[in-house]
Amino acid sequence: MGSKYILLAGSIILGLLASFLPEIAQAANSLSSVSKGDASYAGTYVYGENPEHGRALVREAMSKAINQLPVAFRGLASRRLAEVDPLIHRIVIELHEGLISVRVMGERSASFSTHQGLTEKVTNLKGKQVDLTQSFTDQGLEQLFVGRRGSSRILYTLRANGQQLLVSTVTTSPLLNAPISYQLLYVRQ
């Protein structure tokens, strides 16, 4: 009689496991889906042009958004944005067993390591806690930062030659009438 119950319990457990297998497989695939094609992104990249040119591009994009704010807020927004050099000078991308690590270095530096496709809490360059999801899409490596006052989507696209990394940034906020959007080109070191 006891072996009958053991067989019944075993078949119930196997049935339950089988019902969860697709979810388990999907989670495992998500954690280890950094493919060989994605591995080509691993490396160190430096801003490829004159740093003043890069700063000017970023500040121009910020100014366009600020100029659409009500006049009373423009001065404060301009001063806050002027407090920090907006240019990232160096980017290091590392990939290991589903873990994506992106280190950015400029006036301020930060390192962001998360598992492929999973949202995790990180501290952004401004010292604020935000949610970050990093994943490879058909467009490249995407970082999505979401905080209380808005979000930033950074897309790293490796050019066909494998030596240039185009970094496209779009920042949105309910406080802005228009997104802040710009692109910078980095060169593999």
* Domain range list for the chain: 1-31, 36-188
Supply the pTM of this predicted model.
0.78
- Whether 142 contacts 119, CB under 8 Å: no
Which CATH topology does 36-188 take?
Lipocalin (2.40.128)
Q: Which two tokens stand for residue 171?
A: 């920042």
pLDDT tens per residue, the chain (189 residues)? 555 544 444 444 444 444 544 444 444 444 444 554 489 999 999 998 889 999 889 889 888 888 888 888 888 877 776 666 678 999 999 999 889 999 999 988 999 999 999 999 999 888 889 999 999 999 999 999 999 989 999 999 999 999 999 999 999 988 888 899 999 999 999
Please enumerate in sequence order all residues whose Cβ is within 8 A of that of 168, keeping only pairs 6 or more positions apart, or say none: 154, 155, 157, 181, 182, 183
